[in-house]
Amino acid sequence: MKRTAFSLAVLLALVAAPAHAQFADRVDEIFAQSTGWFVNLIFATLPTSGLIGVDLPWIVGWLVIGATVFTIYFGFIQVRAFGHALQLVRGKYSDPRDAGEVSHFQALATALSGTVGLGNIAGVAVAVSIGGAGATFWMILAGLLGMASKFTECTLGVKYRNEYPDGTVSGGPMYYLKKGFAERGLPLGGFMAIMFSIFCVLGALGGGNMFQANQAASQVQSVLGIPTWITGLVLATIVFVVIVGGIKSIARVTEKVVPFMGVGYVLVGLAILAINYDMILWAFGEILRGAFTDSGIVGGFIGAIIQGFRRAAFSNEAGIGSAAIAHSAVRTKEPITEGFVSLLEPFIDTVVICTMTALVIIITGQLLQDAETGRYILDEGGRIATAAGTGAGVPLTSAAFGSAFGWAPYALSLAVFLFAFSTMITWSYYGMKSWTYMFGEGRNREMTFKIIFCVFVFIGAVSSLDAVIDFSDAALFAMAIVNIIGLYFLMPIVKKELESYLARLKSGEIKAYK
Amino acid sequence: MTRKIVVAFDGSEAGRRAVDHAAAQATQGPARLIVAHVLEWSPYSFLTPEELEERHKRREEELERAREAVVAPVLTDLAARGIEAESEIRYGHVAETLVEIATERQADGIVVGRTGATGITARLFGSVMLTLAQIAPVPLTIVP
């Protein structure tokens, strides 16, 4: 009863919020004042303009260097283990006696529903509208390298998870930082685990929540004309019902629909490519030309590199550590197998889905070029002028799909809404695991976080809180700082697991069941 | 030689009829019943993160319930009637798992009860019986 009353009060507070405009500005102001230094620190640029023409944001370099180190350290594991990863997902090595437990496929699908989201639709549009077609090349490369980061973090996630007597499990970077560091006799593991948890909670509220709600609400508004506060209220209510009310059926329906939407998205993209088949070679030519030469964008091809890498990292979350939380629930005796499976994630997310978005935007001629020089035409903001005159983000992708199929923007609105919703559900879980890691488990503590989460859905949808969104982006990347430091120290453990597993696989000790 | 018969039991009325039929057959000669209970499960279904976390715990609970509430009463009943019987509880696709059990145990037959689903339900969800009829490696008895 008390719970119902409380829930009602929260909902009422949400409804009363149309005094929000003022409130939102105020929140924005407070955030800008108190967190500006943090955002500036995370997105600080290195003074490299004298050397390469533009200043490089150091955090992008951090992620790429991490991914490259893991790629080399594990001997191009993303290539070597790709086939084996597919066999694992198909259940070839799953013990039939474990039927009914979490399968590799299920852990992968759930983790994917957290990463396939707005980054694939909005983020890619931002990347190519600033970085041109060439950004696509670097985005794909970042996706391929990121597979090694995912492999490392998800192996550790399973290896150092907590298994409780009642059969439930908890895992993720906070556990491997603490237990892994202790095992290797390294200091500060507990401190880093707490830092990671703080950033994860903030990232969950920001990138995993407000950013999603904001983009979904503005897409619904621009296509269907529904005010953002209605979408915000609907989203907040559904999220509330699912995570607080425990109405699993809605979540289950979404989890079932989202993969089909993802496949549908790629198929529609392929259809558009097929219609414009004569342009495909040209599009790849543009991608390669923009990747290595100055195609007229700000910062030349270095600008393309930054955009491609940044958006890929934001989309597939490799190195950020979030996916390790979802992957750690799998039932397996070999932690490394979950690492193999997880390396498919950046591949599906970035190399397949993001690339599809980029190709559709390029092939449908959304990015305006000077007919004589072939250089991009820039608007005052330094972005590439678009055919439909829309802003970057979802509207650009929507215009690109809409130029081929009139109905596509409506389908895309639905997809954006569902992708945003499923990402929020998954991130609410990541945030909650970090929250309970810090404050301990228990109904009331979990409830506090869940209610805060729902309130932020609404705030995110109704406002254009630049400072808040900047801060949440920064928190997401801050997770990567802590996580990748941890991965550097713990990667020898992964290597040992890898060598032992591969040896046993070769000797036939690990055998296929099918 | 002792005949081995796999009898599918899902706790329903139809399953009950299957057990009775198999029990009647078992009295006609040396026979051993394997009471098979299959929990419908696909490794390709989609779960929420919370369901992933609790899956192992839920599975234990489901198995416990299947053992105690569904299968145990049948075993007790068969034992009382002097029929040799054991149980097999597994997760999986119902028809395929029954075939698996029959193959592994080198059974001489499979007995199932007909649920009597007709029309749209049967068309939409297919029928365990029809699939079994297609793939059963040993003679299949369908009890109406």
Spatial distance between the Cα atoms of A475 and A478, rounded to a whole number of angstroms: 5
The answer to whether residue A16 sits within a structural domain is no
A90 vs B: CB within 8 A: no
Chain A residues touching residue B37 (CB < 8 angstroms): none
pLDDT in tens, B111-132: 988 876 666 655 555 677 888 8
Read off the tokens for A277.
């088949």
Interchain contact, A167 vs B60, CB within 8 Å? yes
**Residue A295 has what DSSP assignment?**
-
Q: How confident is the model at residue A273 (pLDDT cuts 50, 70, 90)?
A: very high
DSSP A61-92: HHHHHHHHHHHHHTTSHHHHTHHHHHHHHTTT
A425 vs B: CB within 8 A: yes
Q: How confident is the model at residue A211 (pLDDT cuts 50, 70, 90)?
A: confident
Spatial distance between the Cα atoms of B97 and B106, rounded to a whole number of angstroms: 14
Give the per-residue pLDDT at A39: 84
* Least confidently predicted of A310-319, A357-366, A460-469, A483-492: A460-469
Give the per-residue pLDDT at A345: 93
Residue of B nearest to A330 (CA): B52
Give the per-residue pLDDT at B143: 87
ipTM of the complex: 0.82
Q: What total number of domains does chain A contain?
A: 1
A429 vs B: CB within 8 A: yes
Spatial distance between the Cα atoms of A287 and A269, rounded to a whole number of angstroms: 17
Kindly report the average pLDDT of chain A as a whole number.
85
CATH of the domain at A300: 1.20.1740.10
Spatial distance between the Cα atoms of A68 and A146, rounded to a whole number of angstroms: 8
pLDDT in tens, A234-271: 999 999 988 887 777 777 777 777 888 888 899 999 99
The answer to whether residue A45 sits within a structural domain is no
Q: What share of chain B is helix, strand, coil (3-state, %, to 5)?
A: 50, 25, 25
Q: How confident is the model at residue A208 (pLDDT cuts 50, 70, 90)?
A: confident
Q: How confident is the model at residue A483 (pLDDT cuts 50, 70, 90)?
A: very high
Spatial distance between the Cα atoms of B94 and B9, rounded to a whole number of angstroms: 11
Chain A residues touching residue B47 (CB < 8 angstroms): 102, 106, 109-110, 252, 255
Q: What is the average per-residue pLDDT within B75-92?
A: 90
Spatial distance between the Cα atoms of A348 and A343, rounded to a whole number of angstroms: 9
- State percent of chain A over pLDDT 70: 92
Contact A467, A31 (CB under 8 A): yes
Neighbours of A273 (CB within 10 A): 18
At A421, the amino acid letter reads F
Contact B113, B18 (CB under 8 A): yes
Q: Which of B40, B44, B48, B93 to mutate to test the interface with A (most CBs of A within 10 A)?
A: B48
Helices (H) and strands (E) in chain B, counts: 6, 5
Q: Using N-to-C axis directions, what is the helix angle for A300-316 and A124-131, rounded to 10°?
A: 180
Give the per-residue pLDDT at A1: 44
Give the per-residue pLDDT at B130: 81
Give the per-residue pLDDT at A173: 95
For residue A336, pLDDT over 80 is answered with yes
* Least confidently predicted of A48-52, A165-169, A237-241, A319-323: A48-52
Nearest to B43 among A91, A114, A169 (CB): A91
Residue of A nearest to B57 (CA): A167
With b for 16 or more beta-carbon neighbours within 10 A and e for fewer, the A178-198 pattern comes to: bbbbeeeeeeebeebbbbbbb
pLDDT in tens, B40-76: 888 888 788 888 888 888 898 999 999 999 899 999 9
For residue A306, pLDDT over 60 is answered with yes
Based on its alpha-carbon atoms, the radius of gyration of chain A, rounded to whole angstroms, reads 22
| All residues at 6 or more sequence positions from A25 whose CB lies less than 8 Å from its CB, including other chains | none
The answer to whether residue A224 sits within a structural domain is yes
Contact A161, A175 (CB under 8 A): yes
Q: What is the average per-residue pLDDT within B67-93?
A: 90
Q: How confident is the model at residue A432 (pLDDT cuts 50, 70, 90)?
A: very high
Strand partners, B40: B92
Interchain contact, A426 vs B49, CB within 8 Å? yes
Most confident of A20-34, A47-61, A485-499: A485-499
Contact A454, A244 (CB under 8 A): yes
Q: What is the average per-residue pLDDT within A26-51?
A: 76
DSSP A320-379: TSHHHHHHTT---S-HHHHHHHHTHHHIIIIIIIIHHHHHHHHHTT-B-B-TTT-PBPB-
Spatial distance between the Cα atoms of B137 and A38, rounded to a whole number of angstroms: 67
Q: How confident is the model at residue A51 (pLDDT cuts 50, 70, 90)?
A: low
Domain residue limits at A280: 56-507
For residue A19, pLDDT over 60 is answered with no
Residue of B nearest to A88 (CA): B43
Spatial distance between the Cα atoms of A212 and A118, rounded to a whole number of angstroms: 6
Spatial distance between the Cα atoms of A313 and A298, rounded to a whole number of angstroms: 21
Give the per-residue pLDDT at A23: 65
Backbone angles phi, psi at B4, to 5 degrees: -110, 125
Q: Which chain B residues have any C-beta within 8 angstroms of a chain A C-beta?
A: 39, 41, 43-57, 59-60, 62-63, 90-92, 100
Strands (E), chain B: 3-8, 31-40, 85-92, 109-113, 140-143
Interchain contact, A99 vs B43, CB within 8 Å? yes
Where do the domains of chain B lie?
3-143
How many CB pairs (< 8 A) connect A and B? 84
Interchain contact, A168 vs B49, CB within 8 Å? no
At A325, the amino acid letter reads I
For residue A512, pLDDT over 60 is answered with yes
Interchain contact, A107 vs B52, CB within 8 Å? yes
Spatial distance between the Cα atoms of A419 and A456, rounded to a whole number of angstroms: 17
pLDDT, greater one: A350 or A386: A350
A166 vs B: CB within 8 A: yes
A115 vs B: CB within 8 A: no
Give the per-residue pLDDT at A337: 93
Neighbours of A9 (CB within 10 A): 11
Interchain contact, A168 vs B57, CB within 8 Å? yes
* Least confidently predicted of A380-389, B56-65, B81-90: A380-389
Q: What is the average per-residue pLDDT within B30-35?
A: 89
Q: Which of B47, B49, B58, B61 is nearest to A170 (CA)?
A: B49
pLDDT, greater one: B141 or A46: B141
Spatial distance between the Cα atoms of A387 and A394, rounded to a whole number of angstroms: 15
Read off the tokens for A146.
């990121």
The superfamily (CATH) of domain B3-143 is: HUPs (3.40.50.620)
The answer to whether residue A31 sits within a structural domain is no
